[in-house]
Structure 1
Amino acid sequence: MKKLFAVTMTAALALPAVATTAAAENETITIEGANFLDRNANGKFDEGETLRPDTRMQVKDLETRQIVWDSHANRGGRYHVELRKGPKYSITVDLGAYTAERTELIVSEDDAHADFAFTGTFLSGFTFVDSNGDGVKQADEKPHTGKVKVSGVTRANLSFTAETEADANGAYLFDLPLGDLTITAPDLRKSRLTLAEPKSANDIDWLTGTRAVGEPASRRLQVDLRYVEAKADFALASTITPLKETYTVGDQIELRLAVSNKGNVPVAPTVVLGSFAAKLLSHSPNVTVEDDDVFTTVDKILPGEQAEIALKIELDDVEYAEVHAMVRFVPGGYQDVDPTNNVVSTLIKVVGKAGESTAPTTTTTTAPASTTTTTTAPAVAQAGTRSGLASTGASPLGFLALGALLLAAGTSAFFVARRRRS
């Protein structure tokens, strides 16, 4: 009996211990948290901050050094995982193209909540129609419907593109990864709007409509995109050197075209030579050339500034009677508000080269019977003599010698005949 009692007692004591161990092994803890972009750098997820979706995460058992969970946060940026209660766990997160103060957190049953605060670039600003051009957003100044775009390559060497519209107050914002990124202003030419001249360091470049975002030290950057009503106006003037009443085929002239931007749109205008019937010899390096009669400035001309196009031209056609030049009325897609100053014209006269003279000359010869006759013959060039007659190339001395011999023979015959008669 005593032995049976002892066995029974031992079994009774062992059962609670086994049950307790099994219960402990079946107990779990829930580890959860969020991945977010920490705009104010306080390490806490605050209202208005953006969650990072689909971030890859791993959980490791610190006792066994085994990875017990390898997955991603959900599309909302949050994660939730149940693990065996007891061990301490290490949670790591893949930052991708972002940074963070901590990429690993230790959790246990006493503290099983872990948020990861990502840091990138918080880009914000205003984009609106600056009606009074003062550079400041007023309540009555309206936003536009164009989309602000950011693109480039992230620090993780991945292509990145994002775009957004301004809200009713004209404000926009981006939560961006780190990398080589650029913000691009929307093209609003169809709405007759153009970027305004910069008023502060926050304004975007109005010539290119872009600005590098980069990786600012503060991780915060403001870029404003202000627009004004487009008033494109280019004026053209010309000078010709030398300026003469009459030119001869083969003459060369220098044509200088002064293009002035009298509007508020920085544009690279195109100048066209109309009815061009000459030979272009050279042009100034500040233009590109198409078909020898279309010239576009390499750089945009700022409002209030002027560019001069220098052309060297050979007059090789008498049909070229007008030096006519025109700035295209739609520079860069904007309507020119004053087309009356876009055209210049100078009438010129080009004649052929002077040829050799063909005017008739008069000569006089003496005919037998003392009769004088006047004949008209074409003038010919002198060659070989100074007499004005054309040379035949034969010498007269031979004929004179032959005549002398004949005369001598005749005289000898005459004297022989007289002797015979006597």
Structure 2
Amino acid sequence: MKKHLAVATTAAFLLAGAGLPAAAQDETITVEGVIFLDRNGNESYDAGETVRANGPGVWVTNVDTNEKVGEFGTDANGRYRAVLPKGPKYLVVNQDKNGFDLPFGARPATEDLKLDFPLWGRFIEGHSFVDTNGDGVKQDGEAPATGEIKVSGKATDGTQVDVATKPGADGLFRFELKIGDYTLTAPDLSRQGLALAKPRGSTDIDWLTGQAKIGGDRNTRIDMRYFEPKADSALEDTTISPAKDTYTVGDQIDVKFKLVNKGDLPGKMSVVMFSIAETDVKILSRSDNVTGTMQDFETVRKILPGESVTVEMKLELASTEVTEIYPFVRPFVGGYKDVDHKNQGQSFRKVIKVVEKSTATPSTPASSPETTTPTTTPAVAKAGNKSGLASTGASPLGFLALGALLLAAGTGAFFVARRRRS
């Protein structure tokens, strides 16, 4: 009898002991989940979506007493776990939410709960590659671009953002950011002989600026396609007005020439004025499509392939040292070497001659009585003049002088003859 009692007692204790863990477990609830960047916006954590590792996680309050129960951060896998006494009603709040849109930020909990918190930010992705065949699509054999892609701007929570990444072996790159206003900048690969290709669709980056503005869309795709360009800058149609064989110091001339982008990429075009020093001319005006000095200037904006701009300037010639008007466009577009070095303006140079102003003062004839211009009308004798002689139109003074000369000669001869007789 005692033996059976002992067995029964032992069994009771074993059953009681076996029930303790279950009873203790019933006294708590567990709330756990992952905090992640919800790239596709479906509010569910999908493979490949980025988690908020080692973050602040969640905090939990007792709804009835409004007391904070505790804070529970995330681990390296973006997961949090809160074990709470069973009974009260709790509110589980995501505290890693600054700078993100939230489909929800808190949820109540009264029992075991799997609770994930999605975050909606700004997701930028695309391909950066060398588009060898120019079809606008990344092919398996086309190499990824090696340059570093940058994003800068400011998040709505005031955080300054400056991040960079490189594309993977498949040419794909991605940025996952807080909500904000950002600028994405493509890498400059001119040292590798590569340039951004002309956009073929709405996802291609602007090849003029190499940048893209990131606005309010949650997901933005930006593709950066590169190609090997053939730059070709040309200068045509240099004219000088007025056109003269010889100019004088102080003369003003109008110079006009055309810059043409004959290559396949956009870029600024640079011009140098040969054979003209700053002291040789005075620049009176110049068209506002170029900027720089008189001798060295470039277009204000990038010139598209096939496009041309006309440059005009008004100059005052200040020296006889000016022997030619020779604008020369440098054989580069956007830092890429020209494929044709024979059309930079060589055939449009204008040789000119400039001389000093004359320093001699033109002589002014002395004042004299007005003379009557002789005519071919025959002289007509007129009677009744004071001398009693007919007028022939000739002056009598000449005859009077001749008479006086003959009288003097006669008188001289008389005295000579008398001296000899004596």
Q: CA deviation at 1:56?
A: 5.2
The whole-number CA distance in structure 2 between the counterparts of 1:78 and 1:239 is: 75
Match of 1:192 in 2: 193
Q: CA deviation at 1:72?
A: 4.0
1:232 aligns with 2:231: yes
Which amino acid in the other structure matches residue 198 of structure 2? E
Match of 2:153 in 1: 152
Match of 2:89 in 1: 88
Match of 2:383 in 1: none
User: CA deviation digits over 1:93-137, x for unaligned, max 9?
Assistant: 2421111211001223x3232210111232221111111222222
The whole-number CA distance in structure 2 between the counterparts of 1:233 and 1:38 is: 48
Match of 1:251 in 2: 251
Match of 1:294 in 2: 296
Match of 2:274 in 1: 274
**Is the 8 Å Cα contact of residues 154 and 180 (structure 1) preserved in structure 2?**
yes
Cα 1:65–1:275 shift into 2, 3 Å = same
The whole-number CA distance in structure 2 between the counterparts of 1:209 and 1:331 is: 15
Q: CA deviation at 1:313?
A: 0.7
User: CA deviation digits over 1:45-75, x for unaligned, max 9?
Assistant: 1101111232453211122210122364345
The whole-number CA distance in structure 1 between the counterparts of 2:339 and 2:85 is: 76
- Gaps of at least 5 residues in structure 2 are 1-15, 371-422
Match of 2:211 in 1: 210
User: CA deviation digits over 1:335-363, x for unaligned, max 9?
Assistant: 222222223422111111123258xxxxx
Using structure 1 for the length normalisation, give the TM-score. 0.75
SS in 1 for 2:191: helix
The whole-number CA distance in structure 1 between the counterparts of 2:72 and 2:340 is: 65
Q: CA deviation at 1:234?
A: 0.4
The whole-number CA distance in structure 2 between the counterparts of 1:31 and 1:312 is: 80
**Is the 8 Å Cα contact of residues 29 and 85 (structure 1) preserved in structure 2?**
yes
The whole-number CA distance in structure 2 between the counterparts of 1:274 and 1:156 is: 55
Deviates more, 1:280-289 or 1:67-76: 67-76
Q: CA deviation at 1:255?
A: 1.1
Match of 1:68 in 2: 69
Q: CA deviation at 1:266?
A: 1.0
The whole-number CA distance in structure 1 between the counterparts of 2:26 and 2:169 is: 55
**Is the 8 Å Cα contact of residues 36 and 52 (structure 1) preserved in structure 2?**
yes
Match of 1:222 in 2: 221
The whole-number CA distance in structure 1 between the counterparts of 2:74 and 2:28 is: 20
Cα 1:36–1:206 shift into 2, 3 Å = same
SS in 2 for 1:340: coil
Which amino acid in the other structure matches residue 51 of structure 1? V
Identity of aligned residues (%): 42
**Is the 8 Å Cα contact of residues 104 and 117 (structure 2) preserved in structure 1?**
yes
- Gaps of at least 5 residues in structure 1 are 1-15, 359-379, 389-422
User: CA deviation digits over 1:184-204, x for unaligned, max 9?
Assistant: 111111111111111111111
The whole-number CA distance in structure 2 between the counterparts of 1:67 and 1:103 is: 16
**Is the 8 Å Cα contact of residues 182 and 214 (structure 1) preserved in structure 2?**
no
The whole-number CA distance in structure 1 between the counterparts of 2:322 and 2:299 is: 25
Which amino acid in the other structure matches residue 32 of structure 2? E
Match of 1:105 in 2: 107
User: CA deviation digits over 1:314-350, x for unaligned, max 9?
Assistant: 1111010011222223443222222222234221111
Deviates more, 1:67-76 or 1:230-239: 67-76
Q: CA deviation at 1:387?
A: 7.3
Q: CA deviation at 1:26?
A: 11
Match of 2:180 in 1: 179
The whole-number CA distance in structure 1 between the counterparts of 2:244 and 2:52 is: 75
**Is the 8 Å Cα contact of residues 124 and 222 (structure 2) preserved in structure 1?**
yes
**Is the 8 Å Cα contact of residues 178 and 214 (structure 1) preserved in structure 2?**
no
Cα 1:105–1:204 shift into 2, 3 Å = same
Aligned length: 342
**Is the 8 Å Cα contact of residues 280 and 314 (structure 1) preserved in structure 2?**
yes
1:386 aligns with 2:350: no
Which amino acid in the other structure matches residue 291 of structure 2? T
User: CA deviation digits over 1:228-284, x for unaligned, max 9?
Assistant: 112221001222222222111111111112111111221112211122121111100
Q: CA deviation at 1:213?
A: 1.2
**Is the 8 Å Cα contact of residues 35 and 57 (structure 2) preserved in structure 1?**
no
The whole-number CA distance in structure 2 between the counterparts of 1:71 and 1:353 is: 93
The whole-number CA distance in structure 2 between the counterparts of 1:84 and 1:197 is: 63
**Is the 8 Å Cα contact of residues 280 and 313 (structure 1) preserved in structure 2?**
yes
Match of 1:364 in 2: none
Task: Map 1:104-143 onto structure 2 (within 5 A).
Answer: 104-108=106-110, 110-143=111-144
The whole-number CA distance in structure 1 between the counterparts of 2:157 and 2:321 is: 65
SS in 2 for 1:296: strand
Cα 1:117–1:355 shift into 2, 3 Å = same
Q: CA deviation at 1:28?
A: 4.4
The whole-number CA distance in structure 1 between the counterparts of 2:120 and 2:56 is: 14
Q: CA deviation at 1:167?
A: 2.0
The whole-number CA distance in structure 2 between the counterparts of 1:342 and 1:78 is: 65
SS in 2 for 1:341: coil
